Structure 1
Amino acid sequence: MRLLTSLATMLVLGVLIAGCGQKTAVEPKPEPDPPAEEPVDRVTVYPYTAPFTGLGSKEKLDGRRPIMVMINNQTQARPQSGLDKADIVYEILAEGEITRFEAIYQSQKPQVIGPVRSIRPYYIKIAEGFDAVMVHVGGSEEALATLAGPNYADLDEIANSKYFWRESFRKPPHNVYTDLDKINQAMEAKGFRTTSELPRFPFLPADAKITEGSPATDISVKFHSLYSASYKYDEEKGRYLRFSDGKPHMDLTTNEQLAVTNLLVVASKHRVIDSEGRRTVDVTGPGDGYLFQQGKARSVKWKRSGGVIRAYTDATYSEEVPLLPGNTWINFVPDSPGLKTAVQFQ
């Protein structure tokens, strides 16, 4: 009996010892999911910079000669084509108590430009500061006499109609159009120089935030008692949307509302010189102005320097105010009654 009990005890101990020598299988824990990657804003890096806009460019633009086109702004000419692709636009009163646009093209290519209109001496003075080829339909006697000189490259539709066309949906003189392909063809045929030493402008970084100045999200610019324009700041776009006579100012070709990154409004001497209502306009300065950027207004001084109109912090003209990367519009208003009467903003 004792032998059986001993054997049983040994058997139980053997089983226990054998059990202790075995490892219990443990299911592996699943690997935790890797943390989700945060979205990365991929910024396109361009090899070049457009000289008149400060924006990135895939092609080298330094040295490319600018092209200036006179564009009609009478009611019958709206909406125009191509203003949205101009690097710089000057808006100045002509006769008829309405403004005319002087559009400078260098880095962008609109499909269509027009309606093209006639030129005046003060528009010539602005264009020559850019060494631009001047595109127009006729002009005042004084302007045409100036352009007859040896130092200008101009393309007048009256003598060069094959580089323009007339649209049937508008009546003359509001129906003359062109494009940059035709202008470049004309430049080649006439032996115009295609390169130029360009004026330079200071630009802020692309991510710059304007903090200085008074709130200015709604702007009204009265050029004449019979004509005004206005701008409304679009915070999402970071640009001012343009209105003419209270209506959105659209581009006919793209059906997009005109938008402006830098708006400079300056006051200068205006004087009517003949019975047709033609004017002389001072585009040299100096004078007072407002620079509108990112919903802010800043009082500035302006003058023509290095051939082009620039804004300065004060009357010492020692510090030029930099522009935001993008297009620039410069509006000229008469110095009588003056800037504060002509320009309202809030």
Structure 2
Amino acid sequence: MASCNPIELNKTSIQNGFLKRNMTQHEKREDAAMKKARTLGLIIMCLILSLGGCGKESDPSGKTVENGGAVNQTSSAETPAAETETSSATEPVPVPEDDPALPGGVLVMIDNHSKARPQSGLDKADVVFEIMAEGGITRYMALFYTQSAEKIGPVRSARYYFVQLAKGMDLPYAHVGGSTDGLSTISKLGVKDLNEMSNAGYCFWRDKSRKAPHNTYTSTEKLMAGIEKKGFGDKAPVLPPYGTEFIGEALAVGEVELDYYSSGSYSYRVTWRWEEGLGGNGGQYRRYINDKAQSTLEEVPLVADTIYILAASTTSRNTKPLTSAVDIIGEGDALCIVDNQILRGKWVKETAEKPLQILDSTGQPMKRKLGKTWVQIIDSLDDVDLGQ
């Protein structure tokens, strides 16, 4: 067996180590050269790209705009996830809004004497107020906004409490004359006045087929022309908000009766009867006077989706002609009849200039159903039969 010379082994080891060291340094030089080449290549590429990108500028929206102005949209695949628009399936359904046929609202006094029936235009009104006028006869004040009406009437005279309501709504008020305090209240409050007898005869006409004083008529077209001529401006009425769910006491018998007046053989009684499916909105209330269904001259039944009943002290006054005093400034009890439910609350009208508010038991506006609304103002809720 050959012996191993330690000296030769050490020489070989040193030589091998020297070779390894020489190879490592060579590799390092090659590596450095390659890095320099790569760096130089990157610089050249950047120069080429920058030269190729001349003539483009960045739009604030992140789009690239060519010199000619055309926009290159970033592809959807390149859009960051955080910038992608999303829609929520849980967004609340908007409350239905009126779709007005008129540029602004207008109020019209309408006769309810037995010789004035059947009337025209009440079916087109958004809201109808009914209040005692004289000698057991009520009168209407109708608000027109979402529907036009070719014939409205018979139009009758002003009463001060209707004028106070009109002022609170800040809407033009159409009528034929008025009681002494009715006319003075118009002047005092600066109501937007359309009076057939003094300043707006061109807004009305007389129907020869009817006897005076139940023969004066108007239309929304004539009223809008009068409003424009007088420069009253167009204003949308501010009304109670719409609701879609109503929770209250059940209207057990499906009807409500209001006994406005009773003396001897004469009485005036209004009944609203719920009819399921009427009107295509789940049901409506049909209106009756002394148990006779009330319709317009055009044979359109009078109906309501919401009925507010407000208690306001009402007394007869021994004036010529007879008139009533109704305390509509202040507050009182209120009912809302809707979807065969009874909701209880109160009404508030602080001054003649302030609007009438109808509030629920929590002090919030008492909502109404989309559709026709009637406001029955009566002396006391004791005169209202809810069938309970």
Q: Shorter-chain TM-score: what band?
A: 0.7 to 0.9
Q: Greater CA radius of gyration, 1 or 2?
A: 2
Task: Identify which of 338, 343, 346 aligns with 1:293.
Answer: 338
Secondary structure, counterpart of 1:104 in structure 2: strand
Aligned to 1:220: 257
Deviation at 1:270, TM superposition (A): 1.3
Secondary structure, counterpart of 1:138 in structure 2: coil
Task: Identify which of 337, 342, 345 aligns with 2:384.
Answer: 342
1:189-239 Cα shifts (integer Å, max 9, x gaps): 22222236x42522113xx4x342122511111111121111111110211
1:267-319 Cα shifts (integer Å, max 9, x gaps): 111122333331221123421122110112223222237933333333xx622
The change in CA–CA distance for 1:328 and 1:285 in structure 2 (over 3 A counts) is: farther
Bigger mean CA offset, 268-277 vs 77-86: 268-277
Aligned to 2:354: 307
Aligned to 2:309: 265
Task: Identify which of 102, 105, 119 aligns with 1:80.
Answer: 119
The 5-angstrom pairing of residues 181-200 of structure 1 reads 181-195=221-235, 198-200=237-239
User: Separation in 1 of the partners of 2:316 and 2:251?
Assistant: 35
The 5-angstrom pairing of residues 161-180 of structure 1 reads 161-180=201-220
What is the TM-score of this pair, normalised by structure 1?
0.75
User: Separation in 2 of the partners of 1:187 and 1:154?
Assistant: 9
User: Separation in 1 of the partners of 2:251 and 2:191?
Assistant: 42
Secondary structure, counterpart of 1:279 in structure 2: strand
Deviation at 1:178, TM superposition (A): 0.5
Task: Identify which of 222, 228, 234 aligns with 2:275.
Answer: 234
User: Separation in 2 of the partners of 1:344 and 1:56?
Assistant: 30
1:47-80 Cα shifts (integer Å, max 9, x gaps): x98xxxx5452x697xx43200000000000111
Q: Retained in 2: the 8 A contact 1:89–1:330? A: yes
Q: Where do 5+ consecutive residues of structure 2 fail to align?
A: 1-93
Q: Where do 5+ consecutive residues of structure 1 fail to align?
A: 1-47
Task: Identify which of 123, 137, 140 aligns with 2:176.
Answer: 137
1:249-273 Cα shifts (integer Å, max 9, x gaps): 10113x1110101101111111223
User: Separation in 1 of the partners of 2:115 and 2:239?
Assistant: 36
1:158-216 Cα shifts (integer Å, max 9, x gaps): 133332111122110011100011112212222222236x42522113xx4x3421225
User: Separation in 1 of the partners of 2:355 and 2:261?
Assistant: 25
Q: Retained in 2: the 8 A contact 1:66–1:130? A: no
Q: Retained in 2: the 8 A contact 1:66–1:131? A: no
The change in CA–CA distance for 1:230 and 1:302 in structure 2 (over 3 A counts) is: same
User: Separation in 2 of the partners of 1:310 and 1:149?
Assistant: 22
The 5-angstrom pairing of residues 49-64 of structure 1 reads 54-57=96-99, 64=103
Secondary structure, counterpart of 2:356 in structure 1: strand
Paired amino acid for 2:249: G
Paired amino acid for 1:260: A
Q: CA RMSD of the aligned region, Å?
A: 2.3
Deviation at 1:119, TM superposition (A): 0.4
Aligned length: 282
Paired amino acid for 1:310: Q
